[in-house]
Amino acid sequence: MNKGFVILAQNTITTDYVKCAEVLEASIKKVMPESNVTIITKLPYGDLAPNSDWKLINDWQVYEASPYEYTIKLEADMYVPTSIEYWWDILKNHDLVVSTTIRNFKQEISSSRAYRKFIDENKLPDVYNAITYFRKSEKSKKFFGLVRNIFENWDEYKKVLKCNVDEEATTDWVYALACHIMGEENTTLPAFTQMSMVHMKQFINDLPTENWTDTLVYEILSDQFRINTVPQMYPVHYHVKSFANKFI
């Protein structure tokens, strides 16, 4: 089975995404030594936002950029503390699965809607692009073609959406629209709640600020990553990009 993890990493003026990606790769290799991991910094069609600090419009290129037949795409500012090798056994039977489950640092599935106003008001699939599985297939190719189309024609899509006229296209919003168009049954697997991440944003964890490192105690041990003494059992989207330096 030709499978592997792919991480898109394009540095911006403010963020060293390549460093984040290297930390993520190291974490995967530590708990799953036989895994294939590819960090993608050069894209098939080049950087479509060369002067922007937000490179999201390039995301659709991951389909062609991935060297694998079966791919799990992860966002760069994540850390994998335990093996998720068993995911492949479930995902390999599908063309495309975008994650729909997030957790707080206590490992509890989160029901917070603080960051999901666009999703709720437009009645879209509640997806998180940070973990996306796909295999090379016509269905997956169609999905990423839709992602491209939505990004490139965002102003037109906004005319029929409930949102602020200045709403920017985020990858989550674009994936949600693409999943809606193709059908949730073809793009998500809600029953597979293990395909999830710990999301360290403020309101998901009931914190006073978005910088969780100022509030919570963290321990990076040889065999565990703990937050407020809780061992992290799922990929952690640590969100505060500079936290990558702590793992180094």
DSSP state of 212: G
Provide the 10 A C-beta neighbour count for residue 33: 8
Q: Say how far apart CA 120 and CA 118 lie, in whole Å.
A: 6
Give the pair of three-digit tokens for residue 158.
Answer: 């906004």
Tell me the domains of the chain and their CATH numbers. Answer: 3-247 (3.90.550.10)
Q: Could you tell me the mean pLDDT of each successive run of 10 residues in the chain, 248 residues long?
A: 95 94 98 98 91 87 98 98 98 98 98 97 98 98 98 96 94 98 98 98 97 97 96 97 94
> Do 235 and 198 form a contact (C-beta atoms < 8 A)?
yes
Nearest of 78, 84, 21 to residue 236 by alpha carbon? 78
pLDDT at 113: 97
